Structure formats: C-alpha cells, structure tokens
Amino acid sequence: MDNPLYSVAQIRAIEQAAQSQLRPLGTSGPSPLMRRAGEAASTYALEVLGGLPTGRILVLAGPGNNGGDALEVAANLANLGANVDVVHLAGTAPSPETGHALARAQASRARFVSDVADCNGCCLVVDGLFGIGLARPLAGQARALVEWTHGMACPVLALDVPSGLDADTGSVVGPDGVAVRATHTITFLGDKPGLHTGDGCDHAGRVHVNRLGAHGLHTEAAHARLNAPALFAGCLAPRRNNSHKGTYGDVAVLGGARGMAGAGILAARAALYAGAGRVFVAAVDPGPGLDPLQPEIMFRDAAGFAFDGRTVVAGPGMGDSAGATHLLSKVIDGTGPLVVDADALNLCAASPDLAARLAAHGGEVVITPHPLEAARLLGVTAAVVQADRLENARELAERLDAVVVLKGAGSVIARPDGEVALNATGNPGLATGGTGDVLAGLVGTLLGQGWPAWEAALAATWLHGAAADRLVAGGAGPIGLTAGELPRAIRAELNALVADAALA
Ligand SMILES: NC(=O)C1=CN([C@@H]2O[C@H](COP(=O)(O)OP(=O)(O)OC[C@H]3O[C@@H](n4cnc5c(N)ncnc54)[C@H](OP(=O)(O)O)[C@@H]3O)[C@@H](O)[C@H]2O)[C@@H](O)CC1
Ligand SMILES: Nc1ncnc2c1ncn2[C@@H]1O[C@H](COP(=O)(O)OP(=O)(O)O)[C@@H](O)[C@H]1O
Ligand SMILES: [K+]
C-alpha cells in the first residue's frame, strides 16, 4: 500500500518482528535497530544542517529507547567532529540497546550537561525525549525542556515523534500538555497518523520516514494511509470529444435560505469550475435568482424541484426551517448520489430518524462535517472529536454507513469498513468562511460523474487543499485567502491531474 500509516500497536509488532529477524541467528543480544535509527537520524541531521556545523548541537535524551536513539545520534555526530551537548534524563531500567548507546555517547567527545542554560546559541536541537512510549502528559524537567525548545529559532529535529505528541491521534497529550514543535521529524519503521493530523500538523514539521531496513515485515495491513492522487487516479479521465453537458452530471445544491444565499452559490461555483455539466441552486427561500458573476448557475425553487437523477449537495446555506427539513428528508429518501454538509448535518444530528434514514440511503453518500458538526452527530464535544480524529471519523462512517470527511488540519477521510486516509494538502488559509461549501460542491461534481464515494472524497479533499496551496504559492494567502478564489484554482489543479494521468 502507498503511504501507509501505522498505529503504535502495529509499530510495536513490526519492531518485534524486525528485532528477531535482524538479530544474529541464535543470539539474544541487542538488536541493530537502535544503531540504525541513530545512523539514519545523524545522516538526516547533517542533511538538515547542510553539512557538519561549526555551532553546537543540543541533544535531548529521555529515559527510554527514544533517548537511546538520541544518544546514538550524539555519539555519531560527536565522532564526526561536531560539538555536541547532551541533556540526559536517565531512566532506572534502560534497555540493553539504550545502555550501549549511553556508553557510546559517554565515550565520545559529546559533553553531558545538566541543563540547557548555556545552550542558547546552538544550531540544532535533537529531540529524543519520548517517542511512541509516551505514557502521560509531560511534567517537571521534561516539560521545562520542551518549553525551552519553543524559544529556539534553530531547526528542531524530532526522533520518531515530537515529544509530547500522541503518535496515534495527533493530539498533544494532556489537558494542559506541551509538545515539541519540530521543524523536521525522522520517524522509524513506518509513518504514523499522529504526525499528519490535528496538532501533529503543527508539531511534526517535515516528516521523513526511515524503515531501518525492516522491509518485508509490514505484513499487517495498515488501515490508514496518506491521501495521494494515486489513490483516485483510476477515476481521472480526459473528456471524450463526443461528449455533451449531459455527460458530466447535474449538480443541485439544496441551500439558499434567507441571508445565507452565498454558501449555496459558493458550492455551485465550485461544482461549475470542477466540470459539472449543469449546476442548480435549489433554494429553500426566495433569493437572488442569479449569480451575476456566474450566470451559468440556474436558480430554482427547491419546493418544486426535481431532485431525481441529479446529484444533491444538501446543506450549504440551507438553514434549519421546517421547509428545509422536509426537503432534506425528501433527498435523503431518494436514491441518487448525495453530499451532506453544514445545516443538513446539524438537522441529522438533531433527528435520530433522519440520521437512520441517511444511513439507509440507497446511493453513494459523502458527509463533510467540521469537528463541531461531527461532535453533534456523535453526541460528544468538539474537543472529544479532536482528541482522536481518526477514531471519531471511523465511528461516524460506520454509524451513518457513509464516507466521512472530517475537516480541519489534516482532514480525515473515513470509510464504513474502517479504512482511513489523512489529507496533507491545504493550509490555514482555508480557515475562513465558505471554504467548506466549496469542498461540498466539488465532492458533488465528482459523485455526479459516477465516481464512487471513497474516491470522490479523496480527490475532492486533495484538490481543495492543493488549490489552497497553489493560491498561497502565488501570494494569495494564507492571510486573506477567500473561498471564492478556490474554484478557479481547483480547476487548474484538476486539469493538471487529468493531464498527468493521461500521460502516465
Ligand atoms: N526497541 C527498539 O528496537 C527500537 C526503538 N526505537 C525507539 O524507541 C522508542 C520507543 O521506546 P520506548 O518504548 O522505550 O518508549 P519512549 O518513547 O522512549 O518512552 C518510554 C520511557 O519514557 C517514560 N515515560 C513515558 N512517558 C513519560 C512522561 N510523560 N514523563 C516521564 N517519563 C515518561 C517511560 O517510563 P515509565 O512510563 O515506565 O515511567 C519510559 O522510560 C521509539 O519511539 C523509537 O524512538 C527505535 O530505535 C527503533 C528500534
Ligand atoms: N488550518 C487548516 N488547515 C487545513 N485546512 C483547513 C484548515 N482550517 C480549515 N480548513 C479546511 O477548510 C474547510 C472549512 O470548512 P468549514 O469549516 O465547513 O467552513 P465553512 O462552513 O465556512 O464553509 C475544510 O475543508 C477544512 O478542512
Ligand atoms: K522524540
């Protein structure tokens, strides 16, 4: 599988298998994995620094095997001639590997110091305090060290996982927890979901994976992966010459409540720019009747609108009136492809009956909640959702028998059978009103062209983020990026992807 992401439990199993495979036959001595981790991380540190530095390198080593990795790094870099300081939080029962690493570091030119008071001028911090063995929030000296790193302007290289971050969930451990904010993370044996969602997006920096030579051991199927065009490339197709607007699907946005017409228009514009054959706004209240900037969009009264045979994007600017609820229940009871977003999700959260009917919907369904909408659907708080985005997205997908896009930094795309993908495109420029409406319109267009829900959700999330990245690269953000700019950028990204796929 491309870009697999492994849970801590899976990494532990891989580690065990690798240890027995790599130990010399018939011996029970230390495995070479920690040595390899140390070598890989020292090489990567020099890459980050652009060669052997003249300045000092500070290595923070914790009590467990993550600390062992750090001590290997300290020994390696010192032996190469670097000026290395080590702060070591010694444990009471180090593993044999960590014992060896400590002896190597002590025998090297690395200087062991008791605190970081005279390390302010260093050119690199190596964070080897805690990895996948983090068991509780950081406190005492470990916490103080992490807080100190927050003031450093130099690169910070985390070993395996930024200390303080939960590798499974991407949340900082503890109600008032702290975690290292790395510029780079080198992660061992396999990539981990927590580095790519929620707080992980701010704490991991650039993620580099090193399998420590343990290839062929990743037999247990990872149920999470990083989203990438390869996962939906099979659905990308160039337009046939002998085609017409009917070939590319009708998208109807069920929205347009009084005072919220803009949300429906944004979803409709996204559908248009993503290539829908015909785009309607089926408005629950009398509204503008025209988008002067995009007169291609057709406005209809939702009450008399024929939703059958069309892909419905329900929710953007739909409101929660009795009329809106009635129309939503009508489209949920239909059989066509369906996107459920925003107000439509809140109505489902408030009505177990609607939610049950949604779960029974006959056609393809993608729901696109932000964390608060997901929380309402699950009957918990947004903080609970954010504390474990993967599991909550999975739970929602299973309950509603739908593909879920749990939005926010590192969007989680989940399938009812438990498969999950994390999306790495996008940036905080998207944290502005209306961008979710654009995503919903984009998903609807792909569904309307016959894409399965999973691929449509993967592609839409990837394209939406890539469009935002394109805008930022061109100077239109992240500050002040507007949702209305996204559709054209999505068009550019989609055409580029289709052209690439045609060449492949
Ligand atoms: N084994 C191998 O072959 C390989 C392992 N590898 C590396 O090992 C890492 C995993 O090592 P690990 O299992 O020792 O866990 P680690 O992350 O060092 O932390 C556990 C230690 O911290 C302690 N502790 C926990 N939380 C704490 C807190 N909040 N505050 C204070 N203490 C706390 C805990 O003590 P305790 O909870 O028992 O008090 C224990 O001493 C992995 O991420 C990778 O870097 C790689 O080299 C590949 C090969
Ligand atoms: N910090 C961020 N990083 C990446 N993507 C983000 C970030 N903040 C928001 N987004 C994306 O922007 C969109 C916001 O959607 P939503 O919250 O529904 O907004 P609205 O309802 O105003 O349209 C989602 O696709 C979400 O994933
Ligand atoms: K670490």
Nearest-angstrom CA–CA distance, 393 and 368: 10
Q: Has residue 235 been placed in a domain?
A: no
161 and 253 together in one domain: no
Q: Choose one of 201, 226, 251: the last residue of a domain.
A: 226
Q: Has residue 455 been placed in a domain?
A: yes
Ligand with smallest separation from the Cα of 197: 2
Reported ipTM: the value is: 0.95
Ligand 1 centroid vs 53 CA: distance in angstroms? 29
Q: Which of 44, 84, 361 is nearest to 183 (CA)?
A: 44
Q: Choose one of 226, 254, 272: the last residue of a domain.
A: 226
201 and 253 together in one domain: no
Q: Has residue 238 been placed in a domain?
A: no
Nearest-angstrom CA–CA distance, 74 and 83: 9
Residue 72: pLDDT over 80: yes
Number of compact structural domains in the chain: 2
Q: Choose one of 226, 256, 276: the last residue of a domain.
A: 226
Check whether 308 is labelled as a binding-site residue: no
Residue 23: pLDDT over 80: no
Question: For the segment 102-136, what is each residue's pLDDT rounded down to a tens digit?
Answer: 999 999 999 999 888 767 789 999 999 999 999 89
85 and 166 together in one domain: yes
Q: Has residue 158 been placed in a domain?
A: yes
**Secondary structure of 257-319 as H, E, C letters:** CCCCHHHHHHHHHHHHHCCCCEEEEEECCCCCCCCCCCCCCEEEEHHHCCCCCCEEEECCCCC
Helix axes 352-359, 322-332, angle to 10 degrees: 20
Q: Has residue 231 been placed in a domain?
A: no
222 and 247 together in one domain: no
Domain that holds residue 418: 243-503
Residue nearest to atom 14 of ligand 2 (CA): 436
Torsion of the alpha carbons at 327, 330, 336 and 342, rounded to the nearest 10: 40
266 and 151 together in one domain: no
Q: Has residue 430 been placed in a domain?
A: yes
Check whether 134 is labelled as a binding-site residue: yes
Ligand 3 centroid vs 65 CA: distance in angstroms? 10
Residue positions counted in the chain: 504
Residue 94: pLDDT over 70: yes
Ligand 2 atom with the shortest distance to the CA of 373: 18
Tell me what percent of the residues of the chain surpass a pLDDT of 90.
89
Q: Has residue 237 been placed in a domain?
A: no
* pTM assigned to the model: 0.96
| pLDDT bracket for residue 214 (50, 70, 90) | confident
What is the pLDDT, as a whole number, of residue 22? 73
CATH number for the domain spanning 281: value is 3.40.1190.20
207 and 267 together in one domain: no
Say if ligand 1 is within 6 A of residue 200 CB.
no
Q: Has residue 287 been placed in a domain?
A: yes
CATH number for the domain spanning 26: value is 3.40.50.10260
147 and 259 together in one domain: no
215 and 271 together in one domain: no
Question: For the segment 346-382, what is each residue's pLDDT rounded down to a tens digit?
Answer: 999 999 999 999 999 999 999 999 999 999 999 999 9
Ligand with smallest separation from the Cα of 426: 2
